[in-house]
């Protein structure tokens, strides 16, 4: 198999998308393009986009389609993404974003659109125990037995709960998902491009299902 692939990973927040994307990006040797990470970086840098994104993210809303399409369009035009491919995490999130992505990728179409399927109740439980390193973004699961000061095993950064992982914001994001992102699933399904992957299981099991689905789609 030649490394490289153009992939979309859809799925509810807390389905384990982020972690699986990191592994998939290593496996297929492609950049992991996470719009959430890009927006959080903009917030940290205090750019104009960051100020706008912070307001929207804190309220559990979605950044406007035009803004998101412009950001992703720039990123996909970078040489690494053009040459090797990519894995898109968090984009597209609405049907207009998917239509814009189809336009952008006309010359080099997406190989596989994967839907990591995890039931809402399970996701709610997982997100409330999610903790993230502020510096490198590594995800952890809180068990309630941690020290008050939690240091990242990977980079030594501070591990905390994301501002938008409060139960209210999580419920709002899950509602938004049903409203705006679930139609995406239908969009890709109608075109026969969607591969649903069972996201319930150990991280290794789920990873093997995802890679098998990509290899099958590339054939």
The correct pick among 22, 41, 52, 56 for binding ligand ADP (CB under 6 A) is 56
Residues 6+ apart with CB under 8 A from 78: 31
Tokens of 27: 């496996």
* Residue 28, SS3 per DSSP: coil
- Number of residues near ligand ADP (by CB under 6 A): 15
Stretch that binds ligand ADP, among 58-66, 107-115, 133-141, 206-214 (CB under 6 A): 58-66
Residue 205, preceding peptide bond in cis (omega within 30° of 0): no
Interaction between residue 93 and ligand ADP (CB under 6 A): yes
The token pair that represents 65 in the structure block: 């389609």
Cα(98)–Cα(152) distance, integer angstroms: 35
33 belongs to the binding site for ligand ADP (CB under 6 A): no
Query: CA-to-CA distance for 140 and 155, rounded, in angstroms?
Result: 13
Q: Which helix (H) or strand (E) holds 116?
A: strand 112-117
Among 5, 8, 86, 91, binds ligand ADP (CB under 6 A): 91
Q: Is 13 in the site for ligand ADP (CB under 6 A)?
A: yes
DSSP designation for 148 = S
123 sits near ligand ADP (criterion: CB under 6 A): no
Residue span binding ligand ADP (CB under 6 A) among the ranges 25-33, 35-43, 133-141, 185-193 = 35-43
Closer residue to ligand ADP, CB minimum distance, 30 or 173: 173
Nearer to ligand ADP, 145 or 194 (CB): 194
């Amino acid at each position: 198999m030649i490394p490289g692939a153009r992939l979309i990973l859809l799925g509810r927040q807390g389905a384990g998308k982020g972690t699986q994307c990191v592994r998939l990006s290593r496996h297929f040797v492609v950049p992991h393009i996470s719009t959430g990470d890009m927006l959080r970086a903009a917030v940290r840098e205090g750019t104009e986009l960051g100020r706008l994104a912070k307001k929207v993210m804190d309220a559990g809303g979605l950044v406007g389609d035009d803004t998101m399409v412009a950001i992703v369009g720039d990123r996909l035009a970078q040489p690494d993404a053009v040459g090797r491919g990519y894995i898109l995490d968090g984009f597209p999130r609405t049907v207009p974003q998917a239509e814009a992505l189809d336009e952008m990728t006309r010359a080099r179409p997406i190989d596989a659109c994967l839907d990591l399927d995890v039931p809402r109740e399970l996701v709610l439980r997982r997100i409330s125990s999610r903790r993230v390193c502020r510096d490198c973004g590594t995800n952890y699961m809180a068990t309630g037995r941690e020290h008050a000061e939690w240091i990242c095993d990977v980079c030594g950064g501070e591990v905390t709960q994301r501002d938008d992982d409060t139960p209210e914001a999580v419920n709002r994001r899950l509602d938004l998902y049903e409203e705006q992102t679930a139609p995406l699933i239908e969009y890709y399904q109608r075109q026969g491009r969607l591969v649903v992957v069972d996201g319930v299981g150990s991280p290794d099991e789920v990873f093997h299902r995802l890679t098998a689905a990509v290899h099958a789609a590339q054939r």
